């Protein structure tokens, strides 16, 4: 199963989402492949430099070009799980990944400029591919959060999870994966598995 983590803007929680989902996918003695399609290589660096046991079973493939992306996705076995961390603002590479995607996860934040960007990505995703939002670094007590959630509900845009704003969740390889981050992303992971069964 290929899961593509996509956003047209950087800094919305895409790499954090990819790493946490790969950690959850590789639990229970499974191996997951994290395909880092971002030339910055942040996801690959995070997994390679971390001493967290949750990340020990993750295989890394760096694939910042269409050719390398195809090669990396070919290495994911049919029964395996590949999580693709896409670069921002690279529509052509995103379209190549979407050709192979079973599921699309769309990390975003709450804010006035985010909603049009979410809709731009949703427009790229073929209708037959399940897609859900992950609200990252959320302040759930704010009015803007409540209004955004209401708008997504009214427009039938599925929200698969809300990740609270915590420095520990986004710390990268400098520390272990945060327990509350893993718990929040478990809810997203369950939604992914449910969507994959449909």
Share of the chain above pLDDT 90, in %: 76
Buried b (16+ CB within 10 A) or exposed e, 38-57: beebbbbbbbeebeeebbeb
Question: Which residues does residue 135 pair with via DSSP β-bridges, in sequence order?
Answer: 108, 162
**Six-digit token string for 47:** 């997994």
Are residues 135 and 142 in contact, defined by beta-carbon separation less than 8 angstroms? no
**Domain coverage including residue 96:** 2-197
| Model pLDDT, residue 112 | 67
Interval 6-16: pLDDT, tens: 988 888 999 99
Average pLDDT, integer, range 154-166: 94
| Model pLDDT, residue 29 | 72
pTM: 0.94
Cα–Cα distance for residue pair 12/16, rounded to 1 Å = 9
Interval 51-107: pLDDT, tens: 899 999 999 999 999 999 999 999 999 889 999 999 987 889 999 999 999 999 999
| Model pLDDT, residue 61 | 97
pLDDT at 146 over 80: yes
Specify the CATH number for the domain of residue 135. Answer: 3.40.50.300
| Model pLDDT, residue 171 | 84
Cα–Cα distance for residue pair 67/29, rounded to 1 Å = 30
Least Cα distance to 166 among 158, 177, 157 occurs for: 177
Are residues 19 and 173 in contact, defined by beta-carbon separation less than 8 angstroms? no
Interval 4-62: pLDDT, tens: 999 888 889 999 999 999 999 998 777 799 999 999 999 999 999 998 999 999 999 99
Number of domains in the chain: 1
pLDDT at 126 over 80: yes
């Amino acid at each position: 199963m290929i899961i593509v983590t996509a956003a047209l803007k950087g800094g919305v929680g895409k790499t954090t989402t990819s790493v946490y989902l790969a950690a959850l996918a590789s639990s229970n003695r499974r191996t997951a492949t994290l395909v880092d399609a971002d030339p910055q290589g942040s996801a690959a660096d995070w997994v390679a430099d971390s001493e967290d046991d949750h990340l020990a079973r993750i295989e890394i493939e760096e694939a910042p070009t269409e050719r390398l992306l195809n090669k990396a996705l070919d290495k994911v076995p049919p029964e395996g799980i590949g999580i693709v961390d896409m670069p921002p603002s690279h529509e052509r590479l995103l379209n190549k990944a979407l050709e192979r995607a079973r599921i699309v996860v769309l990390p975003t934040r709450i804010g006035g400029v985010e909603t049009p960007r979410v809709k731009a990505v949703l427009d790229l995703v073929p209708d037959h591919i399940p897609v859900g939002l992950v609200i990252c670094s959320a302040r759930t007590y704010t009015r803007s959060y409540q209004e955004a959630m209401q708008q997504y509900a009214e427009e039938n845009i599925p929200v698969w999870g809300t990740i609270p704003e915590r420095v520990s969740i986004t710390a990268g390889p400098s520390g272990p994966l945060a327990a509350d981050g893993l718990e929040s992303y478990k809810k997203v992971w369950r939604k992914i598995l449910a969507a994959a069964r449909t």
